Amino acid sequence: MPPAERVATFDNDGTLWCEQPVIQGVFLLERLKQRLPQHPEWKTQQPFKAALEMDKQYFYTAGEKAVMELFAAEIRAAFKSLR
């Protein structure tokens, strides 16, 4: 089938990583713990501190922006490691 005629559909059945927020969270937390020796400031710097302490209330209050900051830090680190 020519690319112009192809259609992608997603059924949100949990088979894609983006459909598994719990798995993403576990992965993110493990990466933060692995990188903590290089970033001791994370023990006192939010939102890293809240993630490391499993402070759910912080994330309920701070919202999506705090979660996205954590993911952005990991994405930046991943691209740095490719250099």
Break the chain into its structural domains and give their ranges.
20-81
Alpha carbon of residue 43 to chain centroid? 18
At 81 the pLDDT is 64
Highest mean pLDDT among 44-48, 62-66, 71-75: 44-48
59, 34, 83, 68: CA torsion to nearest 10: -10
Percent of the chain at pLDDT exceeding 90: 14
Report, as an integer, the average pLDDT of 49-56: 90
Report, as an integer, the average pLDDT of 4-25: 76
pLDDT digits (tens, 9 = 90+) for 30-46: 888 988 998 899 899 98
pLDDT at 62 over 90: no
